[in-house]
Amino acid sequence: MIVSMQERATEEQIDAVIEVMEEAGVSVHRTTGAMQTILAGVGPTANIDLSKFEVLPGVLNVLRISSPYKLAGRAFRPEGSVIEFANGVKVGGEQVAVMAGPCSIENREQMFTTAARVKAIGASFLRGGAFKPRSSPYAFQGMGIPGLQMMHEAAREHGLLTVSEVMEISQIEEMSLYVDCFQVGARNMQNFNLLRELGQMRKPVLLKRGIAATLEELLLSSEYIMSGGNYDVILCERGIRTYETATRNTMDISSIPVIHKLSHLPIAADPSHGTGRRDMVAPMARAAVAAGADAILVEVHPNADKAASDAAQTLYLEQFEELMAQLRVIATAVGRTM
């Protein structure tokens, strides 16, 4: 259930409503928007008489939520969520955020060169995998914590934030020293224990859509994180598996407006994994910004052809620069900045 408070509701009135909701057996999640406070009651609400909430002082209206996700739904934050990072970087606001870097962290030179260039070109996040979910156990598995330390150092030297994939619960604590945003990869979108644990953190999570996941499943996965009190979730469209074989995955651009309609959470687009092909990354990135993506995640590498993983879909830094110039024009056309 969602209880929307009146704009002028006092703290005492809000506390009193929370108390009655808890007495009715739901756990209460509170969000304070620019205009009003919204209280989401999660739990069994089928037998709760909503009219008893409608008459409480300060209440504007009460809704029973029929969708399976309660906290991820638009009604919880009708104006949309803006995730704030250090350095004033925001994801979900007017500006389209840019996350760029190699698939895998490989060495110092690669990370420092990449950091300097992507910062100059306009990215605000440096990405790089240190724990890699590879389809083959014989493929490069990533540098682990020493790699993250390297990425963190390069990012800080150039005023960038870091984003990197966490694969299991045991990695969270040490990773949190080096990452500003945890990435949950497509293969772990339904690793519910990992999601619950990230829900206990107070650090943003970039949650990628699973390879065969519906958008409802993606939103339910975000609910695992949010129900722990961590509301800073950025969803990510990274392509899904269909019967088409011309591209590595099928980039579902329509997921962007669908998510904006269903949810208040920002959505990023990853055209690198979405297509698997260097020559297709730019067209899909342009389409994603035109469709309203709140962030773009792109794999770039100073020597893309030699990247230790995902070389075929990795852009050279020059290509990334050219792409960013195009994206800025598109962003302006759809009322965003970049």
Q: Which is nearer to ligand PEP, 165 or 223 (CB)?
A: 165
Distance CA 230, CA 234 (A): 11
Per partner kind, with CB cut-offs from 5 to 8 A, the member of ligand PEP, Mn ion, none near residue 186 is: ligand PEP
Distance CA 249, CA 246 (A): 8
Distance CA 106, CA 102 (A): 9
Which are the contacts of 196, defined by CB distance < 8 A and separation ≥ 6?
A: 224, 225, 228
Q: Which is nearer to ligand PEP, 187 or 286 (CB)?
A: 187
Q: Which is nearer to ligand PEP, 119 or 301 (CB)?
A: 301
User: Is 310 near Mn ion (CB under 5 A)?
Assistant: yes
| DSSP 8-state class, residue 263 | B
Per partner kind, with CB cut-offs from 5 to 8 A, the member of Mn ion, ligand PEP, none near residue 133 is: ligand PEP
Residue 26 CA from chain centroid, whole number: 27
CB under 8 A, 24+ apart: contacts of 83-89: 83/204, 83/232, 83/233, 83/234, 83/266, 85/124, 85/161, 85/180, 85/181, 85/204, 86/161, 86/180, 87/124, 87/159, 87/161, 89/124, 89/125, 89/161
**Cβ proximity of 127 and 101 under 8 Å:** yes
For ligand PEP, which residue has the nearest CB?
Answer: 185
User: Is 165 near Mn ion (CB under 5 A)?
Assistant: no
Distance CA 247, CA 238 (A): 12
Q: Which is nearer to Mn ion, 29 or 301 (CB)?
A: 301
Residues in contact with Mn ion, counted by CB under 5 A, come to a total of 2
Distance CA 118, CA 125 (A): 9
In angstroms, give the least distance from the CB of 300 to Mn ion.
11
Position among 273, 278, 301, 336 found at the interface with ligand PEP (CB under 6 A):
273
Residue 251 CA from chain centroid, whole number: 16
In angstroms, give the least distance from the CB of 131 to Mn ion.
12
User: Is 208 near ligand PEP (CB under 6 A)?
Assistant: yes
User: Is 238 near ligand PEP (CB under 6 A)?
Assistant: yes
Position among 28, 42, 143, 186 found at the interface with ligand PEP (CB under 6 A):
186
For Mn ion, which residue has the nearest CB?
Answer: 103
**Cβ proximity of 49 and 88 under 8 Å:** no
- Stretch of 12-20, 99-107, 243-251, 277-285 contacting Mn ion, by CB under 5 A: 99-107
User: Is 129 near ligand PEP (CB under 6 A)?
Assistant: yes
User: Is 142 near ligand PEP (CB under 6 A)?
Assistant: no
Q: Interface residues with ligand PEP (CB under 6 A)?
A: 103, 129, 133, 185-187, 208, 238, 273
